[in-house]
Structure 1
Amino acid sequence: MTLSACGGPAPDVPAEEPPLAGATIGGEFELTDSKGETVRWGDFEGKYRIVYFGFAYCPDICPNDMSQLARGLKTLEASNADKVAMIQPMFITVDPERDTPEVVGEFVSAFSDKFIGLTGSQEQVKAAADTFRVYYERGEDLDNGQYLMNHSNIAYLFGPSGEPLATLPTDLGADAVAAEIDKWVN
């Protein structure tokens, strides 16, 4: 029981509702992990999930966001390893043409061994992106024959039943990411 300043019991305050409660973001997909095995959304039932869409050849934004997510998880793990053990972070490519299973595996392992990298056919990736309301398209061609991908860069946190909870503030740094995860993962 909480006491108020006057010495009596404080009124019950309803628990704060997650910012994405009721949003129609996320859901079933079928993709391929770095070992070439099929992975489905339902495989993570009972675990919290962090989902980030990007591409391995990204020169700046994706590596920065992935670094903030990995550092945020590491920060939280230092104070609550049990909480972090309940989370499956995943990176889903928006560039399956170049991001093979091996490439996404190498990419995510550069940040943390907790992340799984996922890819698939163009159709599978588009279906997953649509389910998660992620925008992407092929961007400008570079002088070296490579190209960029334009895409939304939002890190989503989902609950153990796959329900959307919150976005993670990668733009505010690892401590802010850790605090947001800590707030919603019970």
Structure 2
Amino acid sequence: MPQNPLARAAIIFGAGLAILALGIASYLYLQPKPAINQAQFDSNATGAQGSYGGPFTLTNDDGARVTNDTYAGRYLLIYFGYTFCPDVCPTSLSVMTQALDRLDSEAPKKAAAIQPLFITVDPERDTVEVLNTYVDFFHPRLVGLTGSPEEIAGVTADYRIYAKKVTEEGASDYLMDHTSAFVFLDPQGRFIRLFTHGTSAQEMADALAEVVKN
């Protein structure tokens, strides 16, 4: 450290600015990312039903090509995530599994009318084989879907899902920053509601039971 008081003060001041800048950058990075919003898709909102979602063609975790018509007539509970996710995705899928298990025991016909889907936002790593192993950790009816980067980009855009690759300096691999919410659609593919991250299994089970008509 320089002995000159002015030089010492300048260094301390500069270090303080650097710390402040780092703090601001960290704060901005940790802010919620663009995401789908419940109010934005409220069924009473003008044009909400007509402008959300759309047809898709993807590959399921058994290697078969499927489309949205494959699941016609069923309610869809869709989560967009990735298998390499360290915490948020497995937590959310565990909540979904608990909710469907409760519905299976309390109202099995209603539970059977719901098709849970896991659509990857990381098609580079989430191959058919990887998805097939991953979905086995959760609900037995959960189907994993993947596709080409272009197919995944199309479906995430249609469903307004934010997803971006994040590579930290010095890391050997990347993470995916993405919207964490379940999209719930009726048998005609129309938006019903979101289940945001933090929804409890009981809340989800109760809401599903209230909506499903079976």
TM-score (norm 1): 0.86
**Residue aligning to 1:180:** 207
Alignment map for 1:16-95 (pairs within 5 Å): 20-21=42-43, 22-23=48-49, 24-95=51-122
Deviation at 1:113, TM superposition (A): 1.2
Give the Å deviation of 1:132.
0.7
User: Residue 160 of structure 1 corresponds to which residue in structure 2?
Assistant: 187
Identity of aligned residues (%): 33
**C-alpha distance in 1 between matches for 2:83 and 2:105:** 28
Structure 1 unaligned blocks of 5 or more: 1-18
Per the alignment, do residues 142 and 96 of structure 1 end up closer, same or farther by CA in structure 2, a change over 3 Å counting? Answer: farther
Aligned residues: 168
Taking the aligned partners of 1:30 and 1:105, their CA distance within structure 2 comes to 18
Quote the RMSD (CA, aligned, Å).
1.4
**C-alpha deviation, 1:42, in angstroms:** 1.4
The one-letter code sitting in structure 1 at the alignment partner of 2:60 is D
Alignment map for 1:140-155 (pairs within 5 Å): 140-141=167-168, 143=170, 145-155=172-182
Distance change in 2, residues 1:78/1:32 (3 Å): same
Matched, 1:96 2:123: yes
Question: How has the CA–CA distance of structure 1 residues 170 and 151 changed in structure 2, closer, same or farther, with 3 Å as cutoff?
Answer: closer
- The residue type equivalent to 1:152 in the other structure is T
Deviation at 1:36, TM superposition (A): 1.0
- 2:167 matched to 1:131? no
Q: Distance in 2 between matches of 1:72 and 1:142?
A: 38
| Structure 1 pair 143–183 and aligned structure 2 pair: CA distance change class (3 A) | farther
Aligned-residue offset at 1:180: 1.4
Q: CA offset at residue 87 of structure 1?
A: 0.8
> Secondary structure of 1:105's partner?
helix
Which entry has the higher C-alpha Rg, 1 or 2?
2
Q: Is the 8 A contact 2:103 2:111 kept in 1?
A: yes
Shift of 1:144: 5.5
Greater share of helix = 2
From 198, 205, 208, give the equivalent of 1:171: 198
Query: How many angstroms does 1:109 deviate by?
Result: 1.3
Are the aligned partners of 2:126 and 2:146 in contact in 1 as well (CA < 8 Å)? yes
CA distance in 2, matches of 1:127, 1:166: 21
